Amino acid sequence: MEILVLLKQTFDTEAKITVKDGHVVDDDVTLVINPYDEYAVEEALKLREAQGGAVTVVSVGTDRVEEALRRALAMGADEAVLVEAPAGADELTVAHALAEWASAKQWDIVLAGNVSVDSGAGQVALRFAEVLGLPHVAAALKLEVGDGKAVVHRDAEGDTEVLEVTLPTLVTAQQGLNEPRYPSVPGIMKAKRKTIARVTPAAPVAAATVVQSVFQAQQNRRNTMIKGSPAEQAQQLVQLLRGEAKVV
Amino acid sequence: MADVKAKIKGGSFLLQTANPADVFTPEDMTEEQRMIGQTSKDYAKKVHGKLKEIEANKPAVSRPLMKEAGDLGLLALEIPEEFGGLGLDKVTATVSSEEFTRGGSFAVTLMAHTGIGTLPIVYFGTKEQKAKYLPKLASGEWVAAYALTEPGSGSDALGARTTARLSDDGKYWILNGSKQWITNSGFADVFVVYAKIDGEKFTAFIVERGYEGVSVGPEEDKMGLHASSTATLILEDVKVPVENLLGEPGRGHVIAFNILNIGRWKLGAATSGSSKYMIEVAAQYAKTRAQFGKPIASFRAIQQKLADMNIRTFVTESVAYRTAGLLDVVLGDLDLVNTDIKEAGKRIEEFAVECSINKVFGSEAFDFVVDEAVQIHGGYGYMNEYEVATAYVDSRINRIFEGTNEINRLLIPGTLVRRTMKGELPLMPAMMALQDELTSLTPFEDDGEPLAQERYMIDRAKKVFLMLAGLGVQKYQLALEHEQELLLGVADIAIEIFAMESIVARAQKALAAGKPGLKPEMATVYCQEAFERIGMFARNIMPAIEEEGDTLRTQLSIIKRLLRYTPVNVVALKRKVAEKVLDKEGYVL
């Protein structure tokens, strides 16, 4: 089984985000595999362990992305490919760059994260599937693959939908799909000996969006503690909601 | 690195100026070493969530966790590949040890196993012993422990009363005695035990838990380290197969002391990791705790604490990695399949002084860091539900085990003198040459390169060291070993010198790489404070060596001239460090 995982490198979820001169500063920040993509890597490895085959991870970005790909290799992926990011790339550009490279090969299943924790657009994987004409199922909580099809339990706003889809297909991972392993030391040593292939898109697709400004969101949350007996508290709450917040 | 081996000898940092290129720094780590650190951290974080469970039932929870560490390869780092290990270097072991400390006192279980439990077999075992034990210890199938201390022999390890005698058929060593405060005793499968053959020859043995006559006492009720097992190991006519004698009869001290050397450096690494974690905890608390209507982090008094904690940790870390780099130079090409015991002992012993420095500096720096972390928490820090309280009591043992800090301080001048006598360290010629230098001291001149005054301070501190050590040797000669106050003071100066030099070299390297961060600022602050302390040590020691009178006055005036410098505004530098610590909510560089 040929398994492809689309992977993005993002800020560590605990990292502090600083905006300077209209850009997010990433100098001192720890970068990780986007957590949702890590579920996808884990699921790919489990699929391979159960059914055989190979896991390839691919990402679009700069040299730094090698770190994330190396981690996926250390977790157990067989191959890794880094597609150079076209200038001014947006989700459309990235999806096409990935699809251009991926179209050269037949994949049985493509896995990706449901969304990235940084920009959170949730577009690349689905656009990728559209470009390659693959069916796609988003936000998988459980995945069973066999007989040329996949049964996907997906998170539908809190409910679970069960879908059956024929392979090849693209499935995105939701939190809860699995518990990603961390790389073992022998895995890390093995990954060290692997080369990460480099690809430059031949026909990059221009971005369809323009970022006009980036700014730090201001948090103006204030806490007011209401005191008194329950009845007094309720009274005061209503007054505040009506008088200050003007919501009732 | 071959040329580094030729020019850097144990203790030589006191006699020559370090070339930053020869000083290993954390920034020199490879991607794989960092990744192994990350895996160690991920693992330790998981352990952290289970600390309460471990405390409630040590064997049942600890063993599967050890197996899990084994599956991840974390117990195999320092074991040769031929015996189921990964054959990795000491730098990797350093980063891994730092991160293990996030697993609270379970780190003690794990590190006692991989360190004092396993390494005696790695460095001093026969091929057969290695083949029999190391694969199981690497995988976590078996857990190891180390049994040296006895009720009557702690620092005086060679005073052990446990005995070994050969059985009549010559097939077994019969061991009798009891070993106290043995980490992992509650569930270890194999113990490295020290006993005296016929009550005389101090020797190491590999003892399996299953041998008849081996038993373990109840868990000790300790001040801290509640997630680690500590109990007495009792040996009653235990028949140990003759092939389980480790090393050579009567040469147990070579194993005991050298394994301690490695343990001391690693304790330095561990305290570096523990300190970093406490900085995170304290910075986060300072930002959330409000008094007088604002977060206490906004007060300069709190900021100064965080800066001091960060700077001290910067030193511990720099010292640990520098030492790991040195150990890798001497141990990197050691044949661990067909071990020459003598050679192994000689190589580990090379950097004994540096290893003791790691132990003393790291344990005291962490004590300082965790104490300030409690202080920042105020009364809440005294409550057991806060993690700083646990860390505070856990920290205390670091200054005691692996050789008390007093023993380790005394070992520094002791080892230097011994190496000098053996012709391994040209301390005497340096002391002689100093006499001339002292008469023609030139004041500080800025060479225009960064950290000029700090480099000058290091050079001057070395002169102070040589002067005091030289005068001490001259006056007391062989009786010097009884002048413990003097020896402790001289040791403190040596420790400060190694500390200053390690951070200045690191800052220089970082500057050359164009990524200095706050390293030069932290080096400046630490050097100034250390230089002041060196002055205090020197002024206290000198009158104890020279009689009152003209000579003493002359010597004191030389000391004064040697220690002259222009103070910089460390308050401003610390504010800079604190700002970044608070911004990152953790250790910064």
Q: How confident is the model at residue B351, as a pLDDT?
A: 96
pLDDT for B436 beyond 90:
no
Long-range contacts of B545-548 (CB under 8 A, 24+ apart): B545/B468, B545/B471, B545/B472, B545/B475, B545/B486, B546/B471, B546/B475
CATH architecture, domain defined by A2-199: 3-Layer(aba) Sandwich (3.40)
Q: Which residues contact B496 (CB under 8 A, 6 or more apart)?
A: B461, B530, B531, B533, B534
Of the candidates B402, B454, B483, B521, the residue annotated as catalytic is: B402
Nearest to B158 by CA among B247, B252, B240, B246: B252
Tell me if B77 sits within 8 A of B93, measured CB to CB: yes
User: B39 CA to chain A: closest CA distance, Å?
Assistant: 6
B71 vs A contacts (CB less than 8 Å): 184
Q: Which residues contact A131 (CB under 8 A, 6 or more apart)?
A: A95, A96, A99
pLDDT band at B3 (very low <50, low <70, confident <90, very high): low
pLDDT for B50 beyond 90:
yes
Q: Choose, out of A181, A188, A225, the residue to mutate when testing the contact with B (most B CBs < 10 Å).
A: A188
DSSP-based three-state secondary structure for B352? helix
Q: Annotated catalytic, B372? A: no
ipTM of this predicted complex?
0.90
CATH top class, domain B252-406: mainly alpha
Which CATH number applies to B146-246: 3.40.50.970, 2.40.110.10, 1.10.1740.10, 3.40.50.300? Answer: 2.40.110.10
- Cβ-count burial A218-234 (b if 16+ within 10 Å, e if not): eeeeeeeeeeeeeeeee
Searching chain A, which residue's CA lies closest to the CA of residue B76? A185
Provide CATH 3.40.50.620 ranges for chain A. Answer: 2-199
Region A113-135 average pLDDT: 95
B39 vs A contacts (CB less than 8 Å): 182-185, 188
Residue B86 has its nearest CB partner, among A67, A74, A185, at A185
Q: Choose, out of A185, A190, A196, the residue to mutate when testing the contact with B (most B CBs < 10 Å).
A: A185
Average pLDDT in chain A: 93
User: A154 CA to chain B: closest CA distance, Å?
Assistant: 28
Tell me if B447 sits within 8 A of B411, measured CB to CB: no
CATH of domain B425-584: 1.20.140.10
A200-to-A82, A102, A182, A204, B8 alpha-carbon distances in Å = 9, 12, 30, 9, 47
User: In A, what residues contact B, Cβ < 8 A?
Assistant: 16, 28, 67, 70-71, 74, 182-189, 191-192
Residue A184 has its nearest CB partner, among B71, B88, B584, at B71
- Name the one residue in this structure whose structure tokens are 């860091």: B369
The answer to whether the B252-406 and B425-584 domains have the same CATH topology is yes
The residues that bridge with B239 in the sheet, in sequence order, are B174
Q: Measured between alpha carbons, how far is A109 from B104 in angstroms, rounded to an integer?
A: 42
pLDDT for B452 beyond 70:
yes
pLDDT band at B60 (very low <50, low <70, confident <90, very high): very high
- Reduced 3-state DSSP string for A121-133: CCCHHHHHHHHHC
User: A15 CA to chain B: closest CA distance, Å?
Assistant: 8
A188 vs B contacts (CB less than 8 Å): 32, 35-36, 39
Prediction pTM value: 0.92
Q: Measured between alpha carbons, how far is A21 from A60 in angstroms, rounded to an integer?
A: 24
Residue B39 has its nearest CB partner, among A16, A67, A188, at A188
pLDDT cut 90: percent of chain A above it: 77
Q: Angle, to 10 degrees, between the axis of helix B405-421 and the axis of helix B484-512?
A: 90
Contact call for A16 and B74, based on CB within 8 A: no
Give tens-digit pLDDT for B10-49: 999 999 999 999 999 999 999 999 999 999 999 999 999 9
Domain ranges in chain B are 21-142, 146-246, 252-406, 425-584
Q: Measured between alpha carbons, how far is B174 from B191 in angstroms, rounded to an integer?
A: 15
Q: How many Cβ atoms from other residues are within 10 Å of residue A42's Cβ?
A: 21
CATH 1.10.540.10 fits B21-142, yes or no: yes
Q: Measured between alpha carbons, how far is B408 from A13 in angstroms, rounded to an integer?
A: 42
Nearest to B256 by CA among B152, B332, B149: B149
Searching chain A, which residue's CA lies closest to the CA of residue B517? A28
Q: How confident is the model at residue B486, as a pLDDT?
A: 95
Give tens-digit pLDDT for B405-429: 999 999 999 999 999 989 899 988 8
A67 vs B contacts (CB less than 8 Å): 31
Contact call for A183 and B35, based on CB within 8 A: yes
Contact call for B583 and A16, based on CB within 8 A: yes
A28 vs B contacts (CB less than 8 Å): 584
